[in-house]
Amino acid sequence: MFRKQVVSAVAGIWALSSFCLSPQPFAQERGQPDNDDEEILVIASPIIEGNVIDRYATGSTIVGQDQISDLNARDIGTALRRTPGVTISRYNHVGSHGGADGGGIFIRGLGTNRPGGDMKTFIDGVPMYMGVYNHPLLDLLPIDAADTIEVSKSPRNQQFGNTFAGINLSPKRILEEGFRTEIGLARGSYRTVIQTAEHGGKIGPWDYYVGQSYRSSDGHRKNSDGILRNYFGRVGYELDDHWDISFFGLHTNNTADDPGERGDPATRQGKYDTEAWMGSLSLNHIYESFEGSIKAYINSGEAVETSGSLPGFQFTGIKADETLYPWEGAEIDLGLDYEEIRGKRRRREERGGPTIDTWRGPVQRMLSPSLGFSQLIGDRDSFYVIPSAGVRYYDHNRFSSETAPHAGLVWGHSRTQFHASWSRGVNYPGLDIWRFGGDADTLNAEKMDHYELGVNHTWERVRAELTWFQARGTDRYLVFGPDAFENIGSYRTEGLEPALAYHATDDLSIFVGGTYLVTDPDDMPYSPRRSLSSGLNWRFLDDYVLNLDAQYVSGMYGTAEPRSPVRPAEDDEVGSHFLLNGKLSYHIGFKALGNRDAKSEIFIAAENITDRRYEYRPGYPMPRFNMMAGLNMRF
């Protein structure tokens, strides 16, 4: 089988090379730029685009289009699996089965409890997750629509509410006059097929971007197949020099199969299908002394489970944000979120059969205003200090009101920066509570206090960072039966995250980062004590690019944590593992339709190059050595 994979991949590369390297009328001779002012391409940073500390001393990690491409990511899980502080789980090579062990993302130990969750996922700031079960479904987050993926590892009350951590996808758009078209085709092991098509442009006050993608795979095990189908689009119009309006829409339709535990087909849960629609309309403005936006949105989705259950959700809401600049160095951030969550659960005796009963959860409504203030004192080019403080208030129609304050301090001198912050997160129970039956209105929201202290320094080509964090969670609700819920759970996490980015030359970039994590209780799932990620991007011989990424993850518990007061006594630990992936590309630049950025890329990629055995959940072995070859074109 290994030989067949290598032969297929080499044959694919040869065929693509024969086509793309044959003389073309638009091809540009190597070493012969079309004009003297051609820009010099600097190789992108591997693994992550960078870590950002905002004025409130809260940090986030950005993963951009370059990193998604360099990692040869198939979905959001593979795009973030090397991000320090992030752990993933999955069953399938393509697709995610459900929202926990079969396809989950966990941030510093958050997001591991089920049902429900304490981290949320967003698209353009709009919530997109399974509203009935109150946790993310990764297949609802297509990476093809993302210009950037932002990972918030702590409460960010000035941006998001009702969560302890979050992942936000910012949609693609065209900012400069002109057009761009991108087409991608790839074929790999396990009959994996990837096809993408995107087009965007800007004409005067108008800009637009539309895209479609298809991914499928038979999977590395029997009954581990998956399919992802995505369609998205954005259109914007500049009303004048200060105001613009835009609309973003998305449709996704997916399926993933559960292969079951190795050697025990009775544990199979069958296929898990997901479908979702999303639409958001934004009115934005920017002036010298203030800027902001107001956004109205609606999204809905449904899952189809083998058991005959069809949970469906709908979010509707309005998000308003305004930033004022009343005097030099000062910022006042005002926010107002209103959200309604509806959910139902249909049931069938068999998959595809008629509905025999329907459960509808109560409508949840939440009004959440926020206020933040920060003041820059000094000069960022020399010594400066930025103190900040703020608060978010929650008014919920089903649960008690809550207040989430936060405070931070950023200070530094020239290229050295320190930050310290404290923030309280609030996370309300979702419709999953009423799904059990009984009266859950007596519950309180879950809470978490997060503390962080960090330092970073930038040299000419090097950036070094070190962050210490601690989180203390209280009032986690536990389920004792159909009518018994209590806020008695608690936990604590603490750790260090170092990172080093080195742009050795314009052709070579290196990244090393890791997380050391201690949890209480010490058996929190998907919370490895040690994880280390590294990556290398190297351009050589002018047009060739080599991307390598590696990760070591220590042993961990690998089954999502039930909300039971007693954790099941079972052996659910998985051993440590080391993974090495790589991608080799040949880049061709050419001018087409007046687009100087036009180019094509022929690539061959390999995962698990050292052919290691590893698992995220006991009994679910992950793919061994596998390969993919493809062509990406931009013109």
Banded model confidence at residue 16, pLDDT cuts 50, 70, 90? very low
- Residue 40: Cβ within 10 Å count: 5
| Strand 146-152 versus strand 126-127 pairing type | unpaired
Give the pLDDT score at 3: 40
User: In Å, what is the CA distance from 154 to each residue of 126, 449, 456, 473?
Assistant: 18, 9, 18, 12
Q: What confidence category does residue 31 fall into, taking pLDDT thresholds of 50, 70 and 90?
A: very low
Residue spans per domain, the chain: 2-634
Task: Please confirm whether the linkage preceding 205 is cis (ω < 30° from 0).
Answer: no
Short-list 566, 531, 526, CA closest to 551: 531
pLDDT, tens digit (0-9, with 9 covering 90-100), for 316-363: 999 999 999 999 999 999 999 999 999 998 888 777 778 788 888 899
For tokens 């003389």, name the residue: 23
Q: Is the dihedral of CA 79, 81, 87, 88 positive or negative?
A: positive
Question: pLDDT tens across 535-565, in order?
Answer: 999 999 989 999 999 999 999 998 888 887 7
CB 550 within 8 A of CB 577: no
Are 447 and 473 a contacting pair, CB within 8 Å?
Answer: yes
Q: Is the model's pLDDT at 592 over the cut of 60?
A: no
In this structure, what are the phi and psi dihedrals at residue 451, rounded to the nearest 5 degrees? -120, 140
- pTM of the shown model: 0.91
- Confidence at residue 478, expressed as pLDDT on a 0 to 100 scale: 86
pLDDT at 432: 79
Tokens of 566: 């007693």
Percent of the chain surpassing pLDDT 90: 76
The tens digit of pLDDT for each residue in 222-258 reads 999 999 999 999 999 999 999 999 999 999 999 999 9
Average the pLDDT over 581-591 and give the result. Answer: 85
Answer yes or no: are the C-beta atoms of 244 and 236 closer than 8 Å: yes
DSSP collapsed to 3 states, 489-501: EEEEEEEEEEEEE
User: Phi, psi at residue 619, to the nearest 5°?
Assistant: 85, 0
- Domain range 2-634, CATH architecture: Beta Barrel (2.40)
Among 282, 302, 303, 281, smallest CA distance to 292 is for 282
Query: Quick check: 597 pLDDT over 80?
Result: no
Task: State the chain's mean pLDDT as an integer.
Answer: 89
Residue 18 has pLDDT above 60, yes or no: no
Helix (H/G/I), strand (E/B), else coil: 345: strand
pLDDT of 68 reads: 96
Could you tell me where the beta strands, DSSP code E, fall in 506-576?
A: 508-520, 530-540, 544-553, 556-557, 561-562, 573-574
Least confident of 283-292, 411-420, 424-433: 424-433
The torsion defined by the Cα of 598, 603, 607 and 609, in degrees rounded to 10, comes to -140
Average pLDDT over residues 168-175: 96
Q: What is the mean pLDDT of residues 16-36?
A: 35
Band (pLDDT 50/70/90 cuts) for residue 570 is low
